Structure formats: C-alpha cells, structure tokens
Chains A and B, each alone.
Chain A
C-alpha cells in the first residue's frame, strides 16, 4: 500500500501537470487510423509495394501507441525512471521481430 505522502504527491502531480491535448490526440488517432485503413486499398493503386505498405502501417501503429502512452498514460509527465520502465520490453519486441524476420 502506498504511503499517504506518495499517494498525495501523485494526486497533486496529476492535477498540476494536466495541460493535456486529449482531444487533439483523439483526433490524431482517428485520422491516422483512417489512413491506415485506406493504405492497403490505395497502396497498389498508387504503385506502392507491399513491403512499403507494411512499413507504413508499422510506423503509424508505433506513432499511435506512442501518443496513447505519452499523453493518455501520462508517461510524458512521469519521472524518468518510470519512463524507462516500459522501454525494456521494447528491446525484447525488436529482438523477437528480428528473429522472426531472420527465419
């Protein structure tokens, strides 16, 4: 259980640091999602190769996930040690994907 001081300081931090562009992030997420849905249909029409389409979708997904993590999960406003915490598994993700690609 958290100490009262830590909990209180956390609530204070949440209250003070909330100048967040929630609506803007929502709009951006929606716009990027619409683009994602259209890419597989329009890509071949514009002569974009399948590998470029996959790359675009991976990059757009990573951008969307970053927006959610930074603004909705408040990682942007958290102490550095908490920002680092979720980065560890990302190295694991990259490693796994590289192994799959290598095969």
Chain B
C-alpha cells in the first residue's frame, strides 16, 4: 500500500497517479459513511407523503409502463398490417358516436371522483358519498356500453381471433385490426371493471358509515387509480377510433 493515499474524496489531483480513484470512496464506505453525504440530497425525499399514497403512485407508474407497451405493440401491428380501416369510411366497423358518448361519461366520472375527494377533504361526507355514487354509476355505464359494443361487434363478425365462420358483415382483412382493438380496449376495460369494483366496495363502506372509507386519503387513493384509467382512455379513444394509418 506504500505510495497510496486514501483521501476522503473520490479522486484527488494531489494524490499520486498510482492511487486507485475509488480508494477514498472505499475507505469512506468501509467506515460506514454514506458517500451521498457529500452531495446535495434529501435524507427522506418522500417525507410528508403517506406510504399508502406513494404505493399507489408507484403502482400507477407500473401501469403506465404496461399500457405504454400495449399501445406500442398496437402501433407496431398497425404499421405492419396488410390492411387497416380508415375512420369515417363505410367499412370502419366501430361506432364512433356511441363511443364518443362513452368517452364523455368516463371524463365526467373523473370529475365526480375529483369532487368526491374534495368533499372528503372538506369533511362533507354526504356530498362525498353522493359524488362517489355518481362515479360508480358513470363507471358502470361505461363498462355496460363497452360490453354492448363488444356484443354488437362480435355479432357482426369482428373478433380478436381469426374468424372461424365465413358468415359475417366484416371483411376478413380486418383480422389484425380486431386483434389490436380487442387487446387494447379489453385490457383497459378490465382495468375499468377493477376500478368499478373498488368504487362499489368503497361506496358500500362509506354509505354504511365506516370512517376510514370517508377519509380524504382513502378516497384520493381510489381516485388516483380511477383517473389513470381515464388518462389511458384519453389516448386509446383517438388511437382506435379516430386515427387510420
């Protein structure tokens, strides 16, 4: 070790050239001193944020990753498909007006959810429960309309898999479109259904007078998830219904 000098810094210009640059760091580390102490950092960057809420945000980040991958896969299918239907043409199989109404419903549900959080934060349980119920009704309506649309499309012959019977109003070349459509909207619909179940549970508990269910933080955490499915739909709707190729 002769000739080496372990300075407290990572690398010191005054140190001999034979000194390993990490020497100081290793020495500090061996002494149990965090190297980050020397820089600008916060000991507890998430201080003041409740762990439940932080946990929900981390979960939402994972959901953003999931839907990003799903949408990118859909885009890849779209650009590589032999045929993709153009919106506003007779062959386009999706019902844009009905889904536009459904989009308004989901946006309105985000509004009622935000109002529910606001009411809970201002200790207005009656108002909070009313908005929570409204959110549940709007969410259920969204899912119901999507189920109706799926059943109509299935009846017309647009399926997520290659068609097994030839008797259909939908041309065979829409197979890739059907796969992309059902995969993306299906996963989104499953998430909305999960949100509806969470809202139903919260509604039951809140209307039964459970105190934890009327707390602002509880309502906010459920609301964060609900808003995320709204955000995902904000991108999916134009992607599947309004943009061709």
Contact = CB atoms under 8 A, between A and B. Distances in A.
B21 interface: no
B68 A15 contact: no
Contact of A10 (B50, B113, B123): B50
Given A6-B50, A22-B115, A89-B65, A37 B100 contact: yes
B53 interface: yes
Contacts of B33: none
A37 B96 contact: yes
Interface string A27-55: 00110010011011100000000100110
Interface of A is mostly: helix
A103 B114 contact: no
Contacts of A29: 107
Nearest to B113: A72
Interface residues of B, number: 60
Given A40-B242, A81-B46, A86-B60, A99 B72 contact: yes
B111 A25 contact: yes
Interface string A59-101: 0110011001101111000110110011011101100110110
Given A68-B227, A88-B61, A92-B68, A20 B114 contact: yes
Contact-size category for A: 35 or more
B118 A22 contact: yes
B40 interface: no
A88 to B, nearest CB: 7
A41 to B, nearest CB: 5
Interface stretch (B159-167, B172-180, B184-192, B213-221): B213-221
A99 B71 CA distance: 13
A38 to B, nearest CB: 10
A40 B87 contact: yes
A68 B110 contact: yes
B179 to A, nearest CB: 16
B68 A26 contact: no
B96 A18 contact: no
A18 B118 CA distance: 7
A72 B225 CA distance: 11
B187 to A, nearest CB: 16
A103 B87 CA distance: 23
Interface of A: 1-3, 6-7, 9-11, 14-15, 18, 20, 22-23, 25-26, 29-30, 33, 36-37, 39-41, 50, 53-54, 57-58, 60-61, 64-65, 68-69, 71-74, 78-79, 81-82, 85-86, 88-90, 92-93, 96-97, 99-100, 103
